Amino acid sequence: MLRVRCLRGGSRGAEAAHLIGAMLGRSVAGWAQRVFQSTSSAAAAQPRHAAEEEHVTESAPQECPVCSYNEWDPLEEVIVGRAENAHVPPFTVEVKANTYEKYWPFYQKHGGQSFPADHLKKAVAEIEEMCNILRHEGVVVRRPDPIDWSLEYKTPDFSSTGMYAAMPRDILIVVGNEIIEAPMAWRARFFEYRAYRPLIKEYFRKGAKWTTAPKPTMADELYDQDYPIRTVEDRHKLAAQGKFVTTEHEPCFDAADFIRAGTDLFVQRSQVTNYMGIEWMRRHLAPDYKVHIISFKDPNPMHIDATFNIIGPGLVLSNPDRPCRQIEMFKKAGWTVVKPPTPLIPDDHPLWMSSKWLSMNVLMLDEKRVMVDANESSIQKMFESLGIQTVKVNIRHANSLGGGFHCWTTDVRRRGTLQSYFH
């Protein structure tokens, strides 16, 4: 098995870059060199243009700023989302299928408008403090651009307003030195990638591989327009039957339905990720990586990381309310399965886009440090019993927008190697 190590700086960084470029063909430097060699006569005729092109693409970087293989190696650089300008998505069929009935009047009233200003202001402050704490822990923090999400846009197939750039985990996944932009499945998130493009272009120029999955049209055919959800019982029945609001009309997926463990990635079919999207990822990442489909007893599957969160080599948090149907597969592989305690978040706290189980939606800073909700004392004790130090942060108002620490971030660089943890 090939083991690729992320090395940065000096001769060791150059050696790693050379190895990756020579063996995997993923180095921008190697690409640029082959292009210039194959067009040497043209380059000789116009040396100034060749020099300019080399400068623009930064064709000979000593290091790649993007490198992450799993969820727990030492975190060095991370993208943290923005709550600024966040808007409530219009109450369309795909949004209805992913939200709880008690919040439907909220969407009907506020769809296309800003989230409540007071709440949003507190969420912004919480995320700023989270960024400060990450920096204090030695992590480089990057942010998406502020965008006006109130603008209405129209394609040949639909019209919508935007939503936010709060949850980079939903739209970006890093596999090795590659950033993959997910196609998404909500119409309100169609143009969400625009907030991240300046960052991604910067990473690309410095040597990262950049892939954008096929963008769905999000035409009516992608959604079951008559998806029959009225009660929790309806949701359970439909999920058990393998019926979801998204069809197989075209590939779609949110990156947050995938979770990484070295050469193995695990994914669920959900309300926003269909089998065509999973198959696209499987073919794209083969043969270096394997993609495994797993499922849960979950009436409203959307994003895997508050249901099944891998926090270390052979160590996973498995939601006791949403048991994994393939859990014996992990136990046979020698994994330790930990059931987190019941969340402590009060019933009256608004969670417009998620469940209380954001308590297990944690961010590992390394194998022995975890960023966890300051209000969730039960899960803090659980981590301490596992020998993991807790870095406590309060993002209770930011939770209301649909995510915990894992959702609010995408790890760009972790210091580690590509290994197999699942046999």
257 is catalytic: no
298 is catalytic: no
Which sign, positive or negative, has the C-alpha torsion 109, 114, 117, 119? positive
CB 153 within 8 A of CB 91: no
CB 158 within 8 A of CB 219: yes
Catalytic residue chosen out of the listed positions 119, 303, 397, 406: 303
H, E, C per residue of the chain: CCCCECCCCHHHHHHHHHHHHHHHCCCHHHHHHHHHHHCHHHHHHCHHHHHHHHHHHCCCCCCCCCEECECCCCEEEEEECECCCCECCCCCHHHHHCCCHHHHHHHHHHCCCECCHHHHHHHHHHHHHHHHHHHHCCCEEECCCCCCCCCEEECCCCEEECCCECCHHHHEEEEECEEEECCCCCHHHCCHHHHCHHHHHHHHHCCCEEEECCCCCCCHHHECCCCCCCCHHHHHHHHHCCCCCECCCCCCCCHHHEEEEECEEEECCCCCCCHHHHHHHHHHHCCCCEEEECCECCCCCCCHHHCEEEEECCEEEECCCCCECCHHHHHHCCCEEECCCCCCCCCCCCCCCCCHHHHHCCEEEECCEEEEECCCHHHHHHHHHCCCEEEEECCHHHHCCCCCCCCCEEEEEECCECCECCC
324 is catalytic: no
Catalytic residue chosen out of the listed positions 119, 170, 252, 254: 254
Catalytic residue chosen out of the listed positions 67, 131, 407, 411: 407
Rounded CA gap, 135 and 80, in Å? 12
Catalytic residue numbers read: 254, 303, 407
